[in-house]
A = this chain, B = another copy of it.
Amino acid sequence: MEMQIYLPLILVVFAAIITLGYVFVLFRRVSRIAVNDKRVGDISKHIHDGAMTFLIREYKLIIPFVLGIGIVLTVLGFIPALEGAEGIGWKSAICFVIGSLFSAAAGWIGMSIATKANARTALKARDDGMSGALNTAFSGGAVLGLSVVGFGLLGLAGITLVAYLITGDIKAPIQILTGYSLGCSMIALFARVGGGIYTKAADVGADLVGKLEAGIPEDDPRNPATIADNVGDNVGDVAGMGSDLTESYVGSILSALTMVLLSPDLLALNSTNPSLFFKYLLFPVLLCGIGAIASIISVIIVRAKKWADPHKALNIATYIATGIVIAASITLSLAYVGNWKLMICVIAGLLAGVGIGFIAELYTSDAFSSVKRIAKESTTGHGTNIISGIGVGMKSTWLTIACLGAVIAISYFFGGEYGIALAAVGMLSTVGVTVSVDAYGPIADNAGGIAEMAELPHEVRGITDKLDSVGNTTAAIGKGFCIGSATLTSLSFIISFVKAAGVTISLDDPKVLIGMLVGAMLPYLFSALTIGSVGRAANKMVDEVRSQYEAHPEILEGKMAPDYNKCIDISTKASLREMIVPGIIVLVSPIVAGFVLGASGLGGLLIGGLVSAIMLAVFMANAGGAWDNAKKYIESGKFGGKGSDAHKAAITGDTVGDPFKDTAGPAMDILIKLMSVISLVIVPILSTDGFKCLWDLIVSLF
């Protein structure tokens, strides 16, 4: 009996360690590629130092939050009424700190290698052509992808194993894992929001003053903000995206475990058929263990071959991992648990992940009509460009929701609430590859920038441009994937919350209705704040660049190097300062709602926030992607090409789309996940006997 639990957990811990071991190997391989060009080396060092400085400052800023929350969790555990409550107490606090550390470590390693791989990709492109460059960029991405999986899984399976060893009770680890998940969420909050503001402040600032005022091309070394722009790609798309998916990954597995405990049918097995009960518990964990190995295999296979077409290579990586996980889910469902319905849920989740990615491509790729229409509407002016982009973004919600609705329905039909959580696990089981493919994008983008700045031969830029354009597609697909996985994970958390709260949260309860209204408003407020932050930070950047040009006109003539570090410093400071207010709103809102409106009002807040945030996230991501590609489509020579009026209008759309798709949109994922995890943590307080929310206190007056 004991072995039935220990063996799978040990295997998964082992898989996690193998994954991290392979991360180490890949890291060394990429680092060892010689940087045999001084200029490339210098630029790369600038970017690396800038990125690491940002990360150090960001982590420093987070430390008080982590410690504060850790202390609160510990103190709450000493309240007698809350003893043994899920996610509270010193054990949860330790898990919380571990979660923060692991997520931070994955981000750190990923950023470290991404800012090394960029220069090496550029140089490989020069020396070995496409296949060498692709190999390097993909290996760099894989370091992040496998770190996310390795750390996520190590923490989950490790904590479970240790806690079970100590207590001998399988429920014990699950109760403290909420703390672990919250830790990952905390890092994700700041990494996503801060990173999102950083990247677009630098990008928009650099474009406004460089392209439009000084008339110099993108990535020109004369632009003081250009290094900050390249740092931003890493800060946003590497560290931010990685921590976002770490959170989803850990959250989905945790919610599947929680569902087993909260679903009466499955929990009953604990006494009638404990062996089967444990199989239900360990199924998602084992599946993700296999997913980790599958990711390693697909990375190895892709690295072993010389590719001429990057798109094909990345697709193959995805197909291999997906194929292995599907096979594993079938095997585990039939041979291990003995319930064929589970594999349906897993596969539905996997396919929905692919489906949402494809829908994102449908609305944001210039191969389809939407982007072409935006390009055409650009010929009649800025206004029509904006209107049609907004129309495309809004319209794209319907297919995305149809896809999400279908996966919820299917997984529920076959597996109940546990099935919905399994669908999330299924979608995220191949996250190692998904993140690898996604993180490859900013490395390729950076490589192009470095090639430009270091004036490498023209064909190098040709190769990096090709890599980059594939990266744009994978980025759009990745965003859809982030939204889809965040939705399913949050949905599972919310269902757990409702069950744990032990109250019916009914739609004719005004507390629920007010909660929903406030919840639906929060994503708008949050978006307004982060978009405003980008504007303010970009303006500071513009001022700095202008003053450098004024003080030293030689910079523009290329006779003097601009002060890159000042611009990096501006982006860093601005993004760190600007992320505080939105961050606090996310952390505090569910707590305030819980104490004012009670558990049912908080449930309303969560679900209102979820539906509102998904819509905004899909709308903003796809509108932004469509504007971006409409601009590129015109730049490719359509509707007058570069410099035409249509192009100017398309640039307007792209400027609006930048904070949409890279700042506010991705932040929505964090908003909904973090609010639901916090709610899960405070639900024991809200459902304590004797707890009265402000609402009930007021009602008792009348």
Contact = CB atoms under 8 A, between A and B. Distances in A.
Interface in A380-436: 380-384, 386-388, 390-392, 394-395, 397-398, 401, 404-405, 408-409, 412-414, 417, 420
A494 B507 CA distance: 8
A702 B505 contact: no
Per assembly, the copies of the chain total 2
Interface in A530-558: 531-532, 534-535, 539, 542
Among A341, A604, A615, A699: residue with most chain B CB under 10 A: A615
B388 A535 contact: yes
A579 B610 CA distance: 30
Contacts of A162: none
B401 A521 contact: yes
Nearest to A386: B656
A409 B524 contact: no
A517 B413 contact: no
Contacts of A34: none
A655 interface: yes
Interface string A690-702: 0000010011001
Taking residues whose C-beta sits less than 8 angstroms from the other chain, chain A's interface range is 35 or more
A516 B611 contact: yes
A693 to B, nearest CB: 12
Contact of A520 (B524, B525, B615): B615
A29 B521 CA distance: 47
A445 to B, nearest CB: 21
A420 B511 CA distance: 12
A212 interface: yes
Nearest to A534: B387
Given A408-B514, A413-B699, A608-B611, A524 B387 contact: no
B413 A702 contact: yes
Contacts of A404: 517
Given A388-B535, A495-B508, A397 B614 contact: no
Nearest to A611: B520
Given A381-B652, A611-B611, A615-B524, A510 B409 contact: yes
A273 interface: no
A520 B408 CA distance: 16
Contact of A525 (B394, B505, B531): B394
Contact of A504 (B408, B417, B506): B506
A483 interface: no
B612 A520 contact: yes
Interface string A601-631: 0011001100110110001000000000000
A265 to B, nearest CB: 14
A695 B391 CA distance: 32
B535 A377 contact: yes
A383 B652 contact: yes
A245 to B, nearest CB: 22
Contact of A387 (B529, B535, B604): B535
B516 A607 contact: yes
A659 B387 contact: yes
Nearest to A420: B510
Nearest to A531: B391
Contacts of A341: 702
A513 interface: yes
A45 to B, nearest CB: 33
Contacts of A656: 383, 386-387, 390
B508 A652 contact: no
A528 interface: yes
A535 B517 CA distance: 31
A491 interface: yes
Contacts of A499: 508
B395 A525 contact: yes
Given A491-B513, A520-B614, A413 B698 contact: yes
A651 interface: yes
Contact of A531 (B390, B516, B614): B390
Contacts of A392: 528
A414 B516 contact: no
A518 interface: yes
Contacts of A539: 380
Nearest to A494: B507
Contacts of A534: 387
A524 B397 contact: yes
Interface string A584-614: 0000000000000000000110011001101
Given A384-B655, A387-B531, A505-B506, 4 more contacts: A391-B532, A408-B517, A417-B508, A494-B508
9 contacts: A383-B656, A386-B656, A395-B524, A397-B525, A420-B510, A505-B507, A516-B607, A520-B615, A608-B611
Which 10 A-B pairs rank lowest in CB-CB distance, beginning with the nearest? A383-B655, A394-B528, A520-B611, A395-B528, A498-B508, A401-B521, A382-B652, A382-B382, A412-B510, A505-B507
